[in-house]
Amino acid sequence: MIGSDATAQDIILLKNGEKLKVSIKQIGNEVVNYYEYQDSSITYTLNKSAIESIEKNAVIRDNHGKEKFLNTQIHQIKFDFLSFFNLSLGLSYERMMTPYSSLQPNIAYYNNNDNHGFEIGTDYRIYSTRNRFKNSDGLNLMDGGYTFLRLHYGYQKSSFYNFRQGSFTTEFGTRNSHALIGGVGIGKQWQYDKVTLDVNISYLYFIGWSKEELDTGEPSNVRLVEYNKGIFKGRNNRGVNINFSIGYQF
């Protein structure tokens, strides 16, 4: 005997070619008991000898052929809690695009000692394939593990100095840096009613350039090999980033 949640969509294909979209209540040895999809007021019984096949937890689609979300809480806004300790502000907005993937635009502003700037970009998240079954049961799609791709642009203005050993003098200047940042990561998200806890770690690679201008000389363009934003510590064009965010789902 097999039971099923009445919110899940199943498909029964009859031997005469007819296709029934239902929610199966029970599969017995000789008969199948089911409800009409999204209407559990009446239980129907069908002899198994009339059935060609049964598809459990079928993909649910709307009138335009797109996968339909049974749980409509597919948006959330988040604040990067760790950025607060680095005198920065990080905000994100995540929206499910399919039952197992989402897009998350990110923006961050920081003003940390002699460094200040901003970063903007997007994460593409891929949740566990089990989310397709979560969707058919109307469960929360944003709860669970995921992998993601990240693509960001960053701008940073910082102060620096050069010490000349020959003259024992120090030259001070400013550096304007532009970085294109990309990489991959893994994370896990927990949903408590409408409250979100999101933790992830990513390995990132960046390329870019810096315009350095000394107080005593002409500006010059150099290749960017170092980039620091929040807790991200980039050296030799690569680094690791950790995020811990708190959010609200709606």
Which among 77, 54, 120, 19 is positioned nearest to 246, based on CA atoms?
77
Looking at CATH, the fold of the domain delimited by 75-249 is given as Porin (2.40.160)
Residues facing residue 196 across a β-bridge:
191, 247
Please give the model's pTM, rounded to 2 decimal places.
0.69
Between 213 and 182, residue with greater pLDDT: 182
Three-state secondary-structure class, residue 63: coil
Phi and psi, residue 215, nearest 5°: -65, -20
Per-residue pLDDT, 4? 42
Helices then strands, counting H and E runs in the chain, come out as: 1, 17
Three-state secondary-structure class, residue 131: helix
The type of residue at 116 is H
Between 132 and 155, residue with greater pLDDT: 155
Report the 10 Å Cβ neighbour count for 222: 11
Per-residue pLDDT, 1? 41
**Which tens digit of pLDDT belongs to each residue from 163-212?**
666 666 677 778 888 999 999 999 999 999 899 999 999 999 888 888 88
Boundaries of every domain in the chain: 2-55, 75-249
Looking at CATH, the fold of the domain delimited by 2-55 is given as SH3 type barrels. (2.30.30)
Residue 72 has pLDDT above 50, yes or no: yes
Residue 242 has pLDDT above 80, yes or no: yes
Which among 71, 222, 213 is positioned nearest to 142, based on CA atoms?
71
Report the 10 Å Cβ neighbour count for 238: 13
